[in-house]
Amino acid sequence: MHPSHTLNRYRRLLVHYLRPQWLWMVLLAVILFCTIGVQVITPLVASRFIDQATSGGDLQGLIMLAVFTMGLALLGQGLAVAETYVAENVSWAATNALRTDLVVHLLRLDATFHTAHTPGELIERVDGDVGTLARFFSRFVVYVLGNGILLLGVLGLLYYVDWRVGLGMSAFVIVAFIAMLRIRSVATPSWAADRQASADFYGFLSEYLAGLQDIKSSGAGAFVLRRCAEVMRSWLAITRKAQMWGYAMVATSQGLFALGTAFALALSAMLFKDGTLTIGTIYLIFQCTEMLRQPTEQIRNEVQDLQQADASMVRIEKLLATMPRVVDGPGSALPAGPLSVELDDVFFGYGEDTLILRNVSISLAPGRVLGVVGRTGSGKTTLTRLCLRFYDPLAGVVRLGGVDLRKVHLAEARARIGLVTQDVHLFHASVRDNLTLFDDSVPDERIRAALETMGLADWLGKLSQGLDTQILPGSAELSAGQAQVLACARILLRDPDLVILDEASSRLDPATDRLVHTALNRLLDGRTGIIVAHRLDTVAYADDILVLEDGQVSEYGSRLALAADPTSRFAGLLRVATEEVTI
């Protein structure tokens, strides 16, 4: 990675996220310069103390110097506390802003992106990578500048003591710095690999936690554990390498500075023999040599961390630069009331090579209900996704209310559609929040009314804390059918003009079955509907039927007409389904 690219990237992020924090940054700089002042003054005072003590100075003066030294030590601690407080404030405010931007961006990205990236990977971006950047936001500039000045200050002091010592130590600092940077550049790829390995691990973990039930029920636990062990084993090897490099850097700098101290002491001893230096000055040189180490290491650390953070910055910028494939429309208005749905010669595939839908044309009048049937994998769910514009067709047009969906604002179109998926997602939150999706402005009466309409009044009555009862996703109290009814209530509250229901294919017990039917009946009342139907009872709601076969329209027409025609595929499906039910 070219350093100037890194710095440019860093500057861009810094300017953007630190601008609102500039007052805090000024405060941080002031604190840092005071800290440096204290660091430089302390050895000077100590050296004077030693010289006065060894030359028999008066007790009063010595006490004053001792008290002054203690005061400086206390001030140094106070400044360190203040610095931590301000720096944490700055870095959290800036990184939280960046996190928010990333989350907003992730929500804007379309289904294609989310299919290609696991939630764990995205968590690592939003949390791991941003976390790596946290200290950069607060400390990088101030630290590099501050430590640079401290370094110059200490070297200046050494020149002031004796130019030979100053010159020798300047040469030493340059050599040490170059040596440390060399090692760093060799070590950087290991650190990048370490971050990637951690992202892979989180990706793995989130995927398997999400599929916990399937894993348990299919007895795949042993396989998951083995896979987990494999991922961790490879992570260990990578981390060990990265840590070893990190340690090599610490060891090198310690070794180098031990050499530096030895060099400084040897030089001082020679000059002491000459009578050029006092013992207090030698102490000062010793302290200064020690003091050179901290800023040199810190500048090295900052530069090294910047390299590490560069990988994070690259990934964050790349993520922010990823544009959704589905581009928001210019804002054509949709007509009021129930929406018609038209698919005009639609072709669609998720990837480049396989077409999932071919030649699909349907025209659903406002207020009518379309039942979509067909074998598993025939493209039924895919068709509903196109109506919500999760994807754009490769060819052909999808129209809502007669308007090309690509011309409408995504938010407006989606606000008019209510979707119940096969796999309803309930949040670990109260019943109220699950229904309103965290919109506090919806009054409780409306929520209760919606639940009542959906036939869930009894269910609500049994809940210990009513609307405040917490729902635990995947808990035994809520079956797939009940979850769908809750999702229907959620949608009823939004009062959409088109309802799309991808029916759960699981069989329901008779009571839940009745519940789902009441819910459906009321939800579809006065709205256009598309139901991906798996069961015979549900098909009965449809005015029109679309039979999909391998992504193509096999039959399309009024339900009654198709059912009455004994040669139709739909009539055939009905016969099979009736036999299944009656057996």
Ligand X SMILES: Nc1ncnc2c1ncn2[C@@H]1O[C@H](COP(=O)(O)OP(=O)(O)OP(=O)(O)O)[C@@H](O)[C@H]1O
Residues at the contact surface with ligand X, assessed by CB under 6 A: 115, 350, 356, 374, 376-382
| Beta carbon nearer to ligand X, 408 or 504 | 504
Cβ–Cβ under 8 Å, residues 320 and 105? yes
| Beta carbon nearer to ligand X, 283 or 570 | 570
Cβ–Cβ under 8 Å, residues 188 and 269? no
| Beta carbon nearer to ligand X, 217 or 376 | 376
The token duo for 334 is 């949709």
One-letter amino acid identity for 327?
Answer: V
| Beta carbon nearer to ligand X, 159 or 390 | 390
Distance between CA atoms of 519 and 524, rounded to whole angstroms? 9
Distance between CA atoms of 369 and 351, rounded to whole angstroms? 30
**What are the DSSP E strand ranges found in 226-279?**
none
| Beta carbon nearer to ligand X, 21 or 378 | 378
| Beta carbon nearer to ligand X, 306 or 547 | 547
Rounded to a whole number of angstroms, the minimum distance from the CB of residue 356 to ligand X is 4
Residues found in the chain: 583
| Three-class SS of 123-176 | HHHHHHHHHHHHHHHHHHHHHHHHHHHHHHHHHHHHHHHCHHHHHHHHHHHHHH
DSSP assignment of 305-324 equals HHHHHHHHHHHHHHHHHPPP
Residue with tokens 């129930």: 338
| Beta carbon nearer to ligand X, 263 or 350 | 350
Distance between CA atoms of 120 and 126, rounded to whole angstroms? 10
Rounded to a whole number of angstroms, the minimum distance from the CB of residue 377 to ligand X is 4
Residue with tokens 């901290």: 294
| Beta carbon nearer to ligand X, 329 or 374 | 374
Long-range contacts of 539-543 (CB under 8 A, 24+ apart): 539/371, 539/373, 539/574, 541/369, 541/371, 542/369, 542/370, 542/371, 543/368, 543/369, 543/370
| Beta carbon nearer to ligand X, 16 or 507 | 507
| Beta carbon nearer to ligand X, 311 or 548 | 548
Residue in 93, 72, 80, 88 with CA at minimum distance from that of residue 31: 80
Rounded to a whole number of angstroms, the minimum distance from the CB of residue 476 to ligand X is 25
Helix (H, G, I), strand (E, B) or coil at 500: strand
| Beta carbon nearer to ligand X, 138 or 378 | 378
**527 φ/ψ angles, rounded to the nearest 5 degrees:** -130, 160
Distance between CA atoms of 313 and 318, rounded to whole angstroms? 8
| Beta carbon nearer to ligand X, 180 or 504 | 504
Rounded to a whole number of angstroms, the minimum distance from the CB of residue 426 to ligand X is 20
Rounded to a whole number of angstroms, the minimum distance from the CB of residue 553 to ligand X is 13
Rounded to a whole number of angstroms, the minimum distance from the CB of residue 481 to ligand X is 17
Rounded to a whole number of angstroms, the minimum distance from the CB of residue 150 to ligand X is 56
Among positive and negative, which fits the CA dihedral 50, 52, 56, 59? negative
Rounded to a whole number of angstroms, the minimum distance from the CB of residue 554 to ligand X is 12
Rounded to a whole number of angstroms, the minimum distance from the CB of residue 351 to ligand X is 7
Cβ–Cβ under 8 Å, residues 332 and 410? no
Rounded to a whole number of angstroms, the minimum distance from the CB of residue 534 to ligand X is 7
* Residues in contact with 451: Cβ distance below 8 Å, sequence separation at least 6, in sequence order: 435, 457, 459, 460, 489
| Beta carbon nearer to ligand X, 376 or 582 | 376
Rounded to a whole number of angstroms, the minimum distance from the CB of residue 350 to ligand X is 3
One-letter amino acid identity for 181?
Answer: L
Cβ–Cβ under 8 Å, residues 32 and 150? no
Q: Helix 444-453 vs helix 480-494: angle between axes, to the nearest 10 degrees?
A: 130
Rounded to a whole number of angstroms, the minimum distance from the CB of residue 382 to ligand X is 3
Rounded to a whole number of angstroms, the minimum distance from the CB of residue 506 to ligand X is 12
